Structure 1
Amino acid sequence: TVLAFALLARPSGAFAQSEEALRQAIEKEPRTPAYHKELAKLYSRKGAYLEAIREYESALALAPSDADARRHLAELFGWTRNFDRSIVTYQELIAVHPENLQARIGLAQVFRWSQRYVESEEQLREVLRADPKNRDAIYGMAQSAALAGDFAMALTFADLGISLYPQDAELQAQKGIVLSWSGNSKEGITFLKRAVALDPASASTYRSLADTYAWRKEYRFAVENYRKALELEPDSTGTALDLARAYKNDGNKVLAEEVIRQVLRGSPDHHQALELLQEIRRNQEVDWLWTLEEIGEPVVFFGILLILMRLFYKRWQVHRLSRLYRNLYRFILPCLFLLFLAAYAARIILEMGLYYEIAEIALTIAIALLILLLSLDRGPVSVPMTDRVLVVGAHPDDIELGAAGAMLRFTHEGARVYGLVITKGENGTKAPAEKRQTEAQMVAAGLGLENLWVLDFPDTQLRQHITGIREAIEKKIEELGIQIVITHSLHETHGDHAAIFEAAKEASRTCSLLCYESISAPKEFVPNYFVDITAYLPDKLRAIGMHKTQRDKFYMDPELIRGRAAHRGLQAGVRYAEAFWIYKWVR
């Protein structure tokens, strides 16, 4: 009697009476699964999915073999986006009832929702093996293939479905969607219109048709179809915002704002609606500015050219020897000014708008290239242009591994950088020692060093020669007027590196001493100074790669060098950096 009343009340919409009757029945007979199952169906119709899940779980606890209840439970898990539980529940059902095609179709749909398209297709193919004309499986295959980007397969299954079910609106719409996604939007619209004619109550089809018109920038038709979809589903916030965007793109910003306000009345904090409203208002301000095109646009160009002239003048002052910056400031920018003035005069005086439009395009391209050039400039000066820097290493390749990026940057910014290598590194290669010396000289030229000296102290025996090394470093400091010495650090596991630090420490009595991070630096090396080498890392890698006699050494691996630079960059707040420890700073 209770079930009969619930079934009679459900179609008439008397949910409250039906729910009350079922609850009373459950209180009297709590172990009757049919009551729980019917109450779950009632909750599903109301959209109370969590309550429906609870009742289905109660029904299954009493009747674990109820395949229908388990399928509906899996379906509800999917609707509430609990995909993992939905998949497990479907798989449990299929394990017991492999012939349950509806369960396989439902599982395929959940796989599709969770973007597991291959597994979705596997389930659907199982259904089609058992029932080659299964409409839901054919439709699901078309959907899965389209979402996976296989439009040819999607169209094959859409055509198969239409041939079997020519009056099926969803299949017609699916073919239209696939055609639109594959770039054939004109034919896609034809099928979507056919789907609308077959099922004029389908909000999703109107929405798909509107989306296609929007892609084609036919915003008037997009507005028309979004409105129909919204009439069918007035609570759809997504459709309302799409309608607002279509209004905006069609130039009707007043109606766009009205639609957004309706959304905000229901959800005052809806962030997408608020962002769209701000975008529309910003565009209105831009539209107002365009009414001053006759004056505003030339002023903008004039201002940009002035700013560029100022910026390039500063760059020319920094890069005094750069012919590029000198020519840009002296010739190219003045020519752009003259081109702009001539074109504007032709527009105003001679009413030759075409020449102005051509000049405008040329100016835009030229300005874009100039801005790109500025953006590629390697940054502000971090070392004064008068500085003279001596970089000291124990072996060829040491100064490149530790400080090539800094040397490149300092050289580019005007410092005069010199290199001093204490040994020829004869014990570090099977090749003749002169080969390593030649490589070092080639690298120095590529780095733009003023000069590089390779001395002949014995490799791996520098601890016995600290006094001689100190004297060699002192001599270069005095000869060149060095203000900054950069070398190995106090924290070293390589004896030669430690010896170089001791010698440099004593030699650098009157200048700054920075220590770079060499390949043998232990964890005790804690940097307190970083140089941003983001723009110079490719050049550093090329320089290190020129030490061909050392290619078999693990520390010459470009990815290892890049990784260390990225690690130090993360510490410094830039993309790539070299790390240094300041032993002494004199200014």
Structure 2
Amino acid sequence: METQTIDILAFGAHPDDVELSAAGTLLKHKAAGFSIGIVDLTQGELGSRGDIHTRYEEAAASAEILGLTTRVNLKMPDGFFTHSEENLRLVIEQIRRFRPKIVLMNAFSDRHPDHGKGSRLVSEACFLAGLSKVKTFWEAHPQEHYRPPMVYHYIQDRLIEPDFVVDVTAYAEQKFEAIKAYKTQFWDPNSTEPQTPISGEEFFDFLKGRMSGMGRAIGAQYAEGFCVERTPGVENLFDLH
């Protein structure tokens, strides 16, 4: 069985979670020659706007803008997925399939309960994926155990103090383009669908303000923030700035 490795694999509870919080970081690393991919846990079928069909179309359009190597949807039930062995194994399969050096995932806690649930699910799966006695299969072949060396949580609606931030100024406009691929979810003056916390005209002002606030700490126009699960190490102090 041929293995396709991906350098950075980002998980999101819903399609658009990753784009809203970490697309700039993915784009920056893509430009540096790293491969990037997204795994959506659910289809976002309980969203107030759009439907499964449009969400898939929008996710595909966004993937094209981001230049993803892969995008996978695990089809867990939106709003009702649980921290079960079945769901853990679904995530473990993707980690072992792509063997990423870095895994990005939802915030520890957030306004939407799926974000915190998804965070805990993926975090535990990253650990279990490294246990040789946890057996999984892909395309009828046994998978080798593998634990990603770096695991980070992106920051979403609720402000969380970041452990580090990434300057994404050069990629902000492309990030916004990827987000706007989700046409049903964001501002559309002609839409007759219900208003949501992200569908208002002011939402992109909030998003830019959040990114600007993150960037201010490092003297950048825009940045994205991340939290760690363990203390990160550096080879020398000049790797920090």
TM-score, normalization: structure 1? 0.32
Q: Where do residues 502-517 of structure 1 align in structure 2 (5 Å cutoff)?
A: 502-509=120-127, 510-511=147-148, 512-517=150-155
Aligned partners of 2:83 and 2:58: how far apart in 1?
25
TM-align CA RMSD: 2.0
Q: If each structure's strand is expressed as a fraction of its own residues, which one has the higher value?
A: 2
Name which of 200, 209, 213 aligns with 1:563: 209
The alpha-carbon deviation at position 497 of structure 1 amounts to: 0.8
Alpha carbons of 1:547 and 1:532: their partners in 2 closer, same or farther (altered >3 Å)?
A: same
Q: Does structure 2 conserve the Cα–Cα contact (< 8 Å) formed by 1:489 and 1:517?
A: yes
Which residue does 1:526 correspond to in 2? 161
> How far off is 1:438 after superposition?
1.4
Alignment CA distance shift 1:444-1:586 (3 Å):
farther
Question: In the superposition, relative to structure 1, how do residues 532 and 466 fare at CA in structure 2: closer, same or farther (>3 Å)?
Answer: farther
Which residues of 2 match residues 377-416 of structure 1 at below 5 A? 388-416=7-35
Q: CA deviation at 1:468?
A: 2.9
CA distance in 2, matches of 1:495, 1:572: 31
CA distance in 1, matches of 2:93, 2:233: 19
Q: Is the 8 A contact 2:6 2:99 kept in 1?
A: no
Q: Number of aligned pairs? A: 198
- Is the CA contact 1:397–1:544 (under 8 Å) kept in the aligned structure 2? yes
Letter in 2 for 1:531: V
Q: Offset of 1:413 from its aligned partner?
A: 0.7
* Residue matched to 1:545: 180
Q: Which has the larger radius of gyration?
A: 1
Give the Å deviation of 1:582. Answer: 1.3
CA contact (8 A) 1:467 1:503 kept: no
Q: Which of these residues, 483, 486, 498, is aligned with residue 101 of structure 2?
A: 483
Q: Structure 2 length normalisation: TM-score?
A: 0.76
What is the DSSP-based 3-state SS (H/G/I as helix, E as strand, rest coil) of the residue aligned with 1:569? Answer: helix
Which residue number corresponds to residue 193 of structure 2?
none
Name the CA distance, whole Å, in 1 between partners of 2:65 and 2:7.
18
1:432 CA displacement: 2.5
| Conservation of the 8 A alpha-carbon contact between 1:466 and 1:502 | no
Shift of 1:430: 4.1
1:576 Cα deviation after fit: 0.7
Q: Percent identity?
A: 30
Shift of 1:572: 2.5
Counterparts in 2 of 1:138-537, with a 5 A limit?
388-462=7-81, 464-509=82-127, 510-511=147-148, 512-519=150-157, 521=158, 523=159, 525-537=160-172
2 CA distance for matches of 1:387 and 1:418? Answer: 7
For 1:83-122, what aligned pairs fall within 5 Å after superposition? none
Secondary structure, aligned partner of 1:427: coil
Q: Which has the higher helix share?
A: 1
Whether 1:581 and 2:224 are equivalent positions in the alignment is no
SS in 2 for 1:548: coil
